[in-house]
Structure 1
Amino acid sequence: MKVIAIIPARYSSTRLPGKPLKDICGKSMIQRVYEQVKLSTTLDKVIVATDDSRIYDTVKAFGGEVVMTSAEHKTGTDRLAEVAKELSSEIIVNVQGDEPLINPAMIDQAVRPLLEDTSIKMGTLKQRITSQEELESPHVVKVVTDKDDFALYFSRAMIPYPRTDIDNTYYKHIGLYVYRRGFLLDYAKMKATPLEQKESLEQLRVLENGYKIKVVETKHQAIGVDTEEDLEKVREIVDSVRCTVDS
């Protein structure tokens, strides 16, 4: 069963313009993401999808595979679907282009349920929340699942509400998605739904249309880059690892 990862990459960003091309210790962010994703053991191919010639040229220069897509897409899912239309793979993985430290094992964890159970149309990841700051932040998306680890709901609010002290375990959603190709193409055609618009969470469209999302717990840390401060933090981590290896 062929599995292909697609990394959507836009040049424009409200908080950090030109984010995919930002330098991280001698390599662009998009190159570091690409190289990490390539280490996944469940993938057959990795493709960058962009609407910007600068990103396209950068990926080509380091030997990566890249395709140009429409500049009219409103979401990464739309960009993903445009590329997926031309592919024959059964499974498509959507990897965020702003996670240069992504652990390839996280990709494998998300992909395996779809390899093992053909009835699963979509999957993603969750991680236990360990800080009150993350729990209360609307920028950290929370997820609750049923007994079989299928998503019940995603929210920017604290869910479930802690009315009792029986169990204070909470999970944040990690935005890595795995799709059956056919489902991805159908999903991209679905209209935006009320809860999706209220929470500004595109994955709620899937639940509101009656489909299931498998959610796998991961213990691996994910550090997304949204601000200059995030970028400096990642640079420090990469530099410290490089220095340790050199010594």
Structure 2
Amino acid sequence: MKTTILIPARYASSRYPGKPLVELRQGDGSFKSLIRMTWEAAQQVRGVDAVHVATDDDRIRAACEDFGASVLMTSRDAANGTERCADTLDRLEADLIVNLQGDAPLTPPWFIEALIARMAEDTKAAVATPVLRCDRRTYDMFVEDRRAGRVGGTTAVFDARGHGLYFTKEVVPYIHPDKVPAENIPVFHHVGVYAYRPDALRAYVGWPEGVLERNEGLEQLRFIENGATVACVEVESRGRVFWELNNPEDVPRIEAVLKGE
């Protein structure tokens, strides 16, 4: 199964303009851009035939080419990363397209490898995406963001077969503060990575934006609203802290992880 990783990146983020080019302090004190860190994370994934950045912005293109990345320019009309991936289909030779969003440089390679394996064995799944059971630190960050009025990470709810039922910016299921268990917290952090079959991407751009997608601002809900099977693949952190860069407040969180704090 020929697999390509695409890293969709746009400059005009409503919550954090210029986010892909934000410089983050590494553990050794040096700085790297968010998009470069994500590109380097993609290079660690086994079983991948090609990696490209997909963008409509010349500033991002120039920065990526400076560190040796392959870049595919896309339409400015793409409403989200999934549409941006679909825009590259006629330039790809792939049986599986992985969307590694440019704000998730802490994504471990085994998360993506698990998606590739799931799509190879589950022929009914149109899309696969990782979910990670929250540890107490991550759960507390979710709750802290909500209390502060920030929209941060996403949680996922899925059925006994691992098929997605809903994705939301809220913390679901709700747990009373006095009843949060010390272990096995039943809240799953949705990791913003997707593996699509080409036909699923072609179908996606033919569907209109749905009410759930519009209200939540979550592109994957278009698949759910149109009855496509989204396989939620539970992955293990193996001691690694995972968090996306959604807001400026996330920069020190990620830099703390890079420093080993």
Shorter-chain TM-score bucket reads 0.7 to 0.9
Distance 1:60 1:15, change over 3 A: same
Change (3 A) 1:31 1:152: same
**Is the partner of 2:15 in helix, strand or coil?**
coil
Aligned equivalent of 1:86: 91
Question: What is the DSSP-based 3-state SS (H/G/I as helix, E as strand, rest coil) of the residue aligned with 2:227?
Answer: coil
- Match of residue 210, structure 2, among 193, 196, 200: 193
User: Do the aligned partners of 2:115 and 2:195 also contact (CA within 8 Å) in 1?
Assistant: yes
Q: Does 1:224 align with 2:224?
A: no
TM-score by length of 1: 0.86
1:197: how far off? 2.4
| Cα deviations by residue, 1:104-142 (Å, 9 ceiling, x for unpaired) | 111111221002233321100111133355258364422
Q: 1:117 to 1:75 in 2, by over 3 A?
A: same
Identity of aligned residues (%): 35
1:112 aligns to 2:122 (yes or no):
no
CA distance in 2, matches of 1:204, 1:105: 24
The one-letter amino acid paired with 2:232 is V
Question: What is residue 245 of structure 1 aligned with on the other side?
Answer: none
SS at match of 1:63: coil
Alpha-carbon distance in 2 for matches of 1:200, 1:29:
22
Which digits, 9 at most, give the CA deviation of each residue in 1:163-218, with x for residues without a partner?
9x8x9612121111110011111112211122222333222221221111100112
User: Which residue of structure 1 lines up, in the alignment, with residue 164 of structure 2?
Assistant: 151
- Contact 2:126/2:229, CA 8 A, preserved across alignment: yes
Identify unmatched segments of 5+ residues in structure 2: 25-29
Query: In the TM superposition, what is the alpha-carbon distance from 1:158 to its structure 2 partner?
Result: 4.4
Displacement after TM superposition at 1:75 (Å): 1.4
TM-score, normalisation: structure 2? 0.82
Determine the structure 2 residue equivalent to 1:124: 129
Q: Which residue of 2 aligns with 1:63?
A: 68
Partner of 2:82: 77
Residues 212 and 13 (structure 1 numbering): CA distance in 2 closer, same or farther, change over 3 Å? same
Q: In the alignment, residue 205 of structure 1 is paired with which amino acid?
A: R
Amino acid of the residue matched to residue 164 of structure 2? A
Distance apart, 1:35 and its partner CA = 0.8
Runs of at least 5 residues in structure 1 that lack an aligned partner in the other structure: 242-247
Q: Kindly provide the CA deviation profile for residues 12-53 of structure 1, in whole angstroms up to 9, marking residues without a partner as x.
A: 223332221222333222111101111101311110011111
SS at 2:191 equivalent: strand
Of the three residues 201, 206, 219, the one matched with 1:202 is 219
SS in 2 for 1:127: strand
State the match for 1:170 in structure 2: 187
